[in-house]
Chain A
Amino acid sequence: MPIGGFVVTVDPDKVDRVKEMLLAISGAELHGQDEKGNLVLVLDAETSEEMELMTKEIRELPDVLALGLVYFHAEDEVERIEKGEYRPSRSFGRKPV
Chain B
Amino acid sequence: MGLTRRDFLKRTAAAAAASYIGLRLPFDAPEEAMAADVDSWHIGSCRLCGVGCRVRLGVKDGRAVAIKGVPEARTSMGYLCMKGMLFYKLMGHPERLTTPLYRESKKDEFREISWEEALDIAADRFAKAVKEHGNDSVAYYGSGQALTEETYLFQKVMRAGLQTNNVEGNPRLCMASAVGGYLTSFGADEPIGSYADIEKATCFFIIGSNMAEAHPVIFRRVMRRKLDNRNSVTVINADPRISPTSRIADIHLMFEPGTDLAMLNAMAYVILDEGLADEKFIENYATFRIGKDKKEVTFEDYKEFLADYTPEKAAQICKGNITPEKIRKVARLFARSSATMSMWTMGINQRKRGVWANNMIHNLHILTGQLCKPGADSFSLTGQPNACGGVREGGGLCHILPGHRLVKKEKLRNQVEEAWGVPLGRIPPKPGYHTMAMFSAINQGKIKAIWINCTSPAQSLPNCDLYRKGMAREDCFMVVTDIFPTKTTELANLILPTAFHFEKTGVYGCTERRSQITRKAVDAPGKAMPEVWIVREWALKLAQKLQDPVIEKSVEPFKGLEPDYALPKAIWDEYTQKLTKGRDNDLRGATYEVLEKMADGVQWPAPTEEFALKGGTYKKFVRGIDPLADVHAKDDKPLQFYGPAHPDKKLWVWLRPHKGPEEMPDVQYPFYLSTGRIVDHWHTMSMTGRITELLRANPYAYVEINPSDAKALGIKPGDMVLVESRRGRNILPAKVYEGPVKGMVFVYWHDMDEDRMINRVTKDAYDPGSKEPEFKICACRIEKVSGPKPLKPYIVRM
Contacts and interface: CB of A to CB of B under 8 A. Distances in A.
B625 interface: no
A15 B12 CA distance: 24
11 contacts: A34-B22, A40-B17, A40-B21, A44-B6, A71-B13, A71-B16, A73-B66, A78-B89, A88-B93, A94-B699, A95-B698
A93 B790 contact: yes
Interface stretch (B79-87, B108-116, B124-132, B371-379): B79-87
B402 interface: no
B275 interface: no
B85 A81 contact: no
A26 to B, nearest CB: 14
A73 B94 contact: no
B426 interface: no
Given A56-B697, A65-B227, A88-B691, A94 B20 contact: no
A92 to B, nearest CB: 6
Given A34-B21, A65-B223, A66-B220, A55 B82 contact: yes
Given A9-B220, A68-B220, A90 B692 contact: yes
Q: Which of B6, B82, B89, B692 has the most CB of A within 10 A?
A: B692
A52 B692 CA distance: 9
B695 A73 contact: no
B13 A73 contact: yes
A26 B694 CA distance: 21
Interface string A31-42: 111101110111
Nearest first, the 7 A-B pairs at minimum CB distance are A5-B13, A52-B693, A71-B16, A75-B65, A31-B14, A5-B17, A68-B79
A89 B788 CA distance: 24
Given A48-B86, A52-B697, A90-B793, A68 B21 contact: no
Given A40-B23, A88-B691, A4 B85 contact: yes
B65 A88 contact: no
Contacts of B13: 3-5, 42, 71-73
A25 interface: no
A66 B21 contact: no
Interface string B336-379: 00000000000000000000000000000000000000000000
A35 B247 CA distance: 21
A27 B327 CA distance: 48
Interface in B699-750: 699-700, 702, 717-718, 733, 735
Contact of B37 (A32, A73, A97): A73
Nearest to A66: B220
Interface stretch (B56-64, B280-288, B292-300): B56-64
Interface in A34-78: 34, 36-38, 40-42, 44, 48-49, 51-53, 55-56, 65-66, 68-75, 77-78
Interface in B640-660: none
Interface string B554-589: 000000000000000000000000000000000000
B669 interface: no
B14 A36 contact: no
A38 B12 CA distance: 18
Interface size class of B (residues with CB under 8 A): 35 or more
A37 B14 CA distance: 16
Interface string B215-258: 01101100110011000000000000000000110000000000
A84 B22 CA distance: 41
Nearest to A41: B17
Contact of A52 (B219, B696, B702, B718): B696
Nearest to B734: A97
Given A73-B13, A97-B733, 16 more contacts: A7-B17, A48-B86, A53-B697, A66-B220, A68-B20, A70-B17, A70-B78, A73-B66, A75-B65, A81-B93, A82-B63, A88-B89, A90-B692, A90-B696, A93-B790, A97-B788
A90 B68 contact: no
Contacts of B16: 5, 70-71
A53 B227 contact: no
B216 A66 contact: yes
B57 to A, nearest CB: 11
Contact of A7 (B21, B64, B733): B21
Q: Which of A1, A44, A94 has the most CB of B within 10 A?
A: A94
Contacts of A29: 10, 14
B624 interface: no
B227 A12 contact: yes
B69 interface: yes
B89 A52 contact: no
Contacts of A44: 6, 10
A27 to B, nearest CB: 10
A48 B693 contact: yes
Nearest to A1: B6
A77 B698 CA distance: 21
Contacts of A48: 86, 89, 692-693
Contacts of A34: 21-23
A38 B78 CA distance: 15
A12 to B, nearest CB: 7
A74 B37 CA distance: 11
Interface string B6-33: 1001101111111011110100000000
Contacts of A40: 14, 17-18, 21, 23, 25
Given A48-B86, A66-B216, A73 B65 contact: yes
A66 B10 contact: no
Interface in B664-712: 689-700, 702
Nearest to B10: A42
B92 interface: yes
Contact of B80 (A68, A84, A87): A68
Nearest to B14: A31
A48 B87 CA distance: 12
B94 A87 contact: yes
Nearest to A82: B92
A34 B19 CA distance: 11
B223 A69 contact: no
B88 interface: yes
B67 interface: yes
Contact of B66 (A33, A55, A75, A93): A75
Contacts of A56: 697
Contacts of B248: 65
